[in-house]
A and B are shown apart, each in its own frame.
Chain A
């Protein structure tokens, strides 16, 4: 009897383990689909920006407004954070928990620096009298760039939560999937930023 229970138990365990892997890969797949929807969301905002960006209505134009040194700094910070999030995944694949948490922390710090610079940029613009209600161009500018910033900020909270979980639980199939997913998200935001940088800033000042 005791023997039977024991085998039933290990059977259940092996089965459960198998199931878990399948389960986690399914969640990653769903996240890819979510990224498609997010892509459409940004696509719609980009389309709106492109349609409205000439409508400055007597207010400041992109060329007058954008200060490129700050923007270029933001860009390099965000690109670097994407690189460090990749290093975090590499550390995870080698099973090094502390290294993983360390690289995630570096990524989060760089992300926070990006957000700080972006907020500074926005505050400066508002002080110069270029607010979200000034013209259609500025409305679409603040909403497009701000939505990206909001995504990064939410990613930061998410990442901090994940670091706490990693400290407590270590690298398990579940936390591994969570790290994979947040890094996907982080790279995605990086790609979106490259488009923001090109379409909004470069094409704005050129």
Chain B
């Protein structure tokens, strides 16, 4: 009996690695501490009522952002472990298998569990406020999306202490990720973690398209929408076309592993290349999904801090929409070396070069927005300015990679690694940091400390170039990706050491950011205006943090940058039209179903990971019951009476005076 428990435990828990043992112990301690604090301060009811059951887009956005910062920490630690292992030739820090697991989880976490939730967090907080809406189109579905993401991420992360992490790369190409070559449960965690959160992402895509098309304030025509909202719209269009492909691809891979089907196996007619095509049909649009909102953020910031209208609004819209279409026609450039022939390679090389054109248009738009503007160097603006050269270099190395014959040389080398980190850090991470600094006062009612922010900015930026510029050279010198060690005589030692130093500088930048957040919370210098940056769009016309119902009366929009125009008119002494009388506000009720249903999905996933049908099937039935309960509930919303709105407004405005 005892022996069988021991056997089970040694298979169930990851054992034998001191690093992971340390993590297991610290996870256990942290969990006990959280449970203790919640019970000691009697916060369980508060947690359930205020957060776990909330359908308020602002709170959901905050939860997304908290999770993504935690994931940034985890993905960042993975990165530093890899850089330590590569710092010198023949390092003995990580074993080969452990190294494989770390580069796999680093990639998955940074793209799917860090960039995506940070992006969804900003969508949630900003879009309804920018378009003058009181919530998203489907608040219940929005909560469900968040909790599916959350439990999917948990399922993926738990693999590191239970069962073992996936180790077949961030896109898990078969046959390596198939049952023959990866017999452990790691790949199952990969499939189910991403699958569950991916369904949430798909729902968010639908939700925001409807929100943007149907819930804009009166007078806000499509061509009067703020640019960030446009970028969200084009990103969501890509989401609804790309994510179903991912759902199918992962499902087929799982069937190969679970039922012995032959989609991507090497025998019985399976075709692994089919997987690589399918995964990149999702994977390439995915990078545009995460980068387009960053472009939107930069557009808002450039206009606000140059005190000028965005240059070339229409060309910007056109560029974004054309990127969302073009992004579906470039996927094969990820495997020019597959041998699909000169014609196919030429087609995808040309489309890849062509997609650089709308992106280039945008760079000129931002530059001309700043040109002759009155620029203030706040932290969001500094990230914006740093982004431009970084992204231009990253974009140009991308065009180099798109040249199919040259790609045979660059393929899978550190040149590629440097390229995509440059566009993903320089574009996406810088963009979301800028957005986080910019909208932070709207979320919490206070600004982040600028002084510490500048320290973080310089460490990140200098660290970035120190880390990745050497990698271009290493790639040209023949260093390929995913190798866990190398010989002295390759001559790659010095540049790798420099690169590692750069990685740690970015780590210090992150520490400064954490310090900055903690410091600013402690200081809590309340922003009483609701408009600390002298903003241009509607979200700055209401108090910070926004009241539950966002807008007491829906604004009447007349122009692009409507709030700015209204402020200008007020300065010229033109009185604003009298506000219409308050009306009761229709709001959705909180619901525990999204949380419970997603938790059940976690158990469905966990059951299938281990092949425990006794767990998966009841949990799946539970999911079905949750859906029926929701279908039968009609009492899902309520009205906030006028008197309460008046009270809340007086309080918020009172604080503003």
Asked if B244 lies at the interface with its beta carbon under 8 angstroms from chain A, I say yes
List A contacts of B207 (CB < 8 A): 30
List B contacts of A27 (CB < 8 A): 138
- The A-contacting residues of B in range 475-491, CB under 8 angstroms, are none
Q: Are A57 and B244 in touch, CB under 8 angstroms?
A: no
Q: Which of B137, B243, B252, B265 contacts A48 (CB 8 A)?
A: B252
Asked if B269 lies at the interface with its beta carbon under 8 angstroms from chain A, I say yes
| Complex CA distance for A30 and B211, rounded to whole angstroms | 10
Asked if A134 lies at the interface with its beta carbon under 8 angstroms from chain B, I say yes
Asked if A76 lies at the interface with its beta carbon under 8 angstroms from chain B, I say no
Q: Are A161 and B268 in touch, CB under 8 angstroms?
A: no
- The A-contacting residues of B in range 201-217, CB under 8 angstroms, are 202, 205-207, 209-210, 213-215
Q: Are B271 and A26 in touch, CB under 8 angstroms?
A: no
Q: Which of B251, B269, B634 contacts A169 (CB 8 A)?
A: B634
Q: Which of B251, B268, B628 contacts A135 (CB 8 A)?
A: B268
Contact pattern, A 130-146, Cβ under 8 Å of B = 1, otherwise 0 = 00111111011011000
List A contacts of B241 (CB < 8 A): 36-37, 40
Q: Are B248 and A45 in touch, CB under 8 angstroms?
A: yes
Q: Are A57 and B269 in touch, CB under 8 angstroms?
A: yes
Asked if B158 lies at the interface with its beta carbon under 8 angstroms from chain A, I say no
Asked if A67 lies at the interface with its beta carbon under 8 angstroms from chain B, I say no
Q: Are B270 and A55 in touch, CB under 8 angstroms?
A: yes
- The A-contacting residues of B in range 268-282, CB under 8 angstroms, are 268-271, 274, 278
Q: Are A143 and B252 in touch, CB under 8 angstroms?
A: yes
Q: Are A143 and B261 in touch, CB under 8 angstroms?
A: yes
Q: Are A139 and B261 in touch, CB under 8 angstroms?
A: yes
Asked if B639 lies at the interface with its beta carbon under 8 angstroms from chain A, I say yes
Q: Which of B240, B245, B267 contacts A36 (CB 8 A)?
A: B240
Q: Are B631 and A12 in touch, CB under 8 angstroms?
A: no
Asked if A33 lies at the interface with its beta carbon under 8 angstroms from chain B, I say yes
* Min C-beta distance of A53 to chain B, whole Å: 10
List A contacts of B255 (CB < 8 A): 132, 139, 143
Q: Are B268 and A30 in touch, CB under 8 angstroms?
A: no
List A contacts of B137 (CB < 8 A): 26, 30
* Min C-beta distance of B94 to chain A, whole Å: 37
| Complex CA distance for A112 and B255, rounded to whole angstroms | 26
Q: Are A37 and B271 in touch, CB under 8 angstroms?
A: no
Asked if B262 lies at the interface with its beta carbon under 8 angstroms from chain A, I say yes
List A contacts of B520 (CB < 8 A): none
- The B-contacting residues of A in range 27-84, CB under 8 angstroms, are 27, 29-30, 33-34, 36-38, 40-41, 44-45, 48, 51-52, 55-57, 59
Asked if B249 lies at the interface with its beta carbon under 8 angstroms from chain A, I say yes
Asked if A129 lies at the interface with its beta carbon under 8 angstroms from chain B, I say no
List A contacts of B210 (CB < 8 A): 26, 29-30, 33
| Complex CA distance for A196 and B453, rounded to whole angstroms | 58
Asked if B11 lies at the interface with its beta carbon under 8 angstroms from chain A, I say no
- Interface size range on B against A: 35 or more
In chain A, what residue has the closest Cβ to B214? A26
* Min C-beta distance of A19 to chain B, whole Å: 5
Asked if A158 lies at the interface with its beta carbon under 8 angstroms from chain B, I say yes
| Complex CA distance for A137 and B261, rounded to whole angstroms | 10
In chain A, what residue has the closest Cβ to B247? A41
List A contacts of B243 (CB < 8 A): 37
Q: Are B244 and A44 in touch, CB under 8 angstroms?
A: yes
Contact pattern, A 110-153, Cβ under 8 Å of B = 1, otherwise 0 = 00000000000000000000001111110110110000000000
Q: Assuming the A-B contacts A30-B206, A37-B206, A57-B268, are A52 and B244 also in contact, with contact meaning beta carbons closer than 8 angstroms in the complex?
A: no
Among B214, B248, B267, the most chain A Cβ lie within 10 Å of the Cβ of B248
List A contacts of B259 (CB < 8 A): 132-133
Q: Are A132 and B261 in touch, CB under 8 angstroms?
A: yes
* Min C-beta distance of A33 to chain B, whole Å: 5
* Min C-beta distance of A59 to chain B, whole Å: 8
| Complex CA distance for A38 and B243, rounded to whole angstroms | 10
Q: Are A136 and B209 in touch, CB under 8 angstroms?
A: no
Q: Are B584 and A12 in touch, CB under 8 angstroms?
A: yes
Asked if A174 lies at the interface with its beta carbon under 8 angstroms from chain B, I say yes
| Complex CA distance for A134 and B260, rounded to whole angstroms | 9
Asked if A198 lies at the interface with its beta carbon under 8 angstroms from chain B, I say no
| Complex CA distance for A92 and B513, rounded to whole angstroms | 59
List A contacts of B205 (CB < 8 A): 37
Q: Which of B248, B267, B274, B584 contacts A15 (CB 8 A)?
A: B584
Asked if A16 lies at the interface with its beta carbon under 8 angstroms from chain B, I say yes
In chain A, what residue has the closest Cβ to B243? A37
Asked if B583 lies at the interface with its beta carbon under 8 angstroms from chain A, I say yes
Q: Which of B240, B260, B586 contacts A37 (CB 8 A)?
A: B240
Asked if B46 lies at the interface with its beta carbon under 8 angstroms from chain A, I say no
Asked if A93 lies at the interface with its beta carbon under 8 angstroms from chain B, I say no
List B contacts of A11 (CB < 8 A): 583
Q: Are A48 and B244 in touch, CB under 8 angstroms?
A: no
Q: Are B586 and A33 in touch, CB under 8 angstroms?
A: no
In chain A, what residue has the closest Cβ to B251? A143
| Complex CA distance for A55 and B266, rounded to whole angstroms | 12
Q: Are A44 and B270 in touch, CB under 8 angstroms?
A: no
Q: Are A52 and B271 in touch, CB under 8 angstroms?
A: yes
* Min C-beta distance of A7 to chain B, whole Å: 13
In chain B, what residue has the closest Cβ to A38? B244
* Min C-beta distance of B264 to chain A, whole Å: 9
* Min C-beta distance of B142 to chain A, whole Å: 12
* Min C-beta distance of B358 to chain A, whole Å: 23
Contact pattern, B 627-640, Cβ under 8 Å of A = 1, otherwise 0 = 01001101000010
Q: Assuming the A-B contacts A165-B632, A174-B634, are A139 and B262 also in contact, with contact meaning beta carbons closer than 8 angstroms in the complex?
A: yes
Asked if B263 lies at the interface with its beta carbon under 8 angstroms from chain A, I say yes
List B contacts of A38 (CB < 8 A): 244
List B contacts of A29 (CB < 8 A): 210, 213-214
| Complex CA distance for A140 and B252, rounded to whole angstroms | 9
Q: Are A134 and B245 in touch, CB under 8 angstroms?
A: no
* Min C-beta distance of A164 to chain B, whole Å: 8
Q: Which of A16, A140, A162 contacts B263 (CB 8 A)?
A: A140
| Complex CA distance for A140 and B268, rounded to whole angstroms | 12
| Complex CA distance for A48 and B248, rounded to whole angstroms | 10
Q: Are A133 and B260 in touch, CB under 8 angstroms?
A: yes
* Min C-beta distance of B282 to chain A, whole Å: 9
| Complex CA distance for A61 and B393, rounded to whole angstroms | 53
Among B202, B252, B261, the most chain A Cβ lie within 10 Å of the Cβ of B261
* Min C-beta distance of B593 to chain A, whole Å: 15
Q: Assuming the A-B contacts A44-B244, A161-B628, are A136 and B634 also in contact, with contact meaning beta carbons closer than 8 angstroms in the complex?
A: no
List B contacts of A12 (CB < 8 A): 583-584, 639
List A contacts of B271 (CB < 8 A): 51-52, 55, 136
In chain A, what residue has the closest Cβ to B583? A15
Among A56, A133, A165, the most chain B Cβ lie within 10 Å of the Cβ of A133
Q: Are B631 and A158 in touch, CB under 8 angstroms?
A: yes
In chain B, what residue has the closest Cβ to A158? B631
List A contacts of B586 (CB < 8 A): 16, 19
Q: Which of B213, B252, B268, B631 contacts A134 (CB 8 A)?
A: B268
Q: Assuming the A-B contacts A33-B210, A48-B274, A169-B634, are A136 and B269 also in contact, with contact meaning beta carbons closer than 8 angstroms in the complex?
A: yes
List A contacts of B247 (CB < 8 A): 41
Q: Are B262 and A136 in touch, CB under 8 angstroms?
A: yes
Since A26-B215, A33-B210, A44-B249 are in contact, a sample of 6 more A-B pairs with Cβ atoms closer than 8 Å, ordered by chain A residue number, is A16-B639, A26-B214, A48-B248, A55-B268, A135-B268, A140-B263
3 smallest beta-carbon distances between A and B, as pairs = A55-B269, A136-B269, A139-B261
Cβ contacts A to B, 17 pairs, < 8 Å: A12-B584, A26-B210, A34-B206, A36-B240, A37-B205, A37-B206, A37-B241, A45-B248, A51-B271, A52-B263, A52-B274, A55-B269, A57-B267, A136-B265, A136-B271, A139-B255, A174-B634
Interface residues of A (CB under 8 A from B): 11-12, 15-16, 19, 26-27, 29-30, 33-34, 36-38, 40-41, 44-45, 48, 51-52, 55-57, 59, 132-137, 139-140, 142-143, 157-158, 161-162, 164-165, 169, 174
